[in-house]
Amino acid sequence: MRVLYITANPKLEVDSVCLGLGRRFIDEYSQLNPDVEITHLDLAQKSFPHLEGEAFEQYTDQNGICIKLAKDFKSFDKYVIAAPMWNLSIPSVLKAYIDHIIVPGEMFRYGEQGRPVGLCGGALLYLGARGGNYSEGPNAKYAMDSLYFEGLCQLIGINSFQSLVIDSVGSYRRESAAEIVQKKLNEIQTLATHF
């Protein structure tokens, strides 16, 4: 079993709720599955430019960077993404990476009716953090992070999508990132058991 663990936050893990969630989940999952191979892709360290120029010209070229990245992505069985919601969406470096790998003909194809048919498979877990409360009330309709990943999974054929998102962790919070993550330990352990 191979797991791709993607992080997209320039903060230190000690200061980041989503990175703390990710680390705690990966630790729990590794303990339960000692034979699993986990590869960490830190997009704060290895960023991808916006899809333009040479990469766009080679978008569907079998020797181009996009196809190579898509095939590498598909070589994993499961995916864990730890990222914050920024400005109602996901960090641009994560979106740039996704734009590079979601290649028609490799990750999905169009069916007879023009509807996409996913070619990927697997499971994806999104571990997120939001500055304000976007899980309920009038702001819920603006939280595009989970909605984006759920739609992405449907597009490329990832069979299982789960998420654990913690709201209201903006700079006004009184607790440390570690204290916030600790409160979610039972949920993290449950996810690690069933992922």
Fold topology of 2-194 = Rossmann fold (3.40.50)
The tens digit of pLDDT for each residue in 138-190 reads 999 999 999 999 999 999 999 999 999 999 888 777 888 899 999 999 999 99
The pTM of the full predicted model, rounded to 2 decimals, is 0.94
pLDDT at residue 2 tops 90: yes
User: Which of residues 58 and 90 earns the better pLDDT score?
Assistant: 90
Secondary structure (H, E, C), the chain: CEEEEEECCCCCHHHCHHHHHHHHHHHHHHHHCCCCEEEEEECCCCCCCCCCHHHHHCCCCCCCHHHHHHHHHHCCCEEEEEEECECCECCHHHHHHHHHHCCECCCEEECCCCCEEECCCCEEEEEEECCCCCCCHHHHHHCHHHHHHHHHHHHHCCCEEEEEEECCCCCCCCCCHHHHHHCCHHHHHHHHHHC
What pLDDT was estimated at residue 31? 97
Domain residue limits, the chain: 2-194
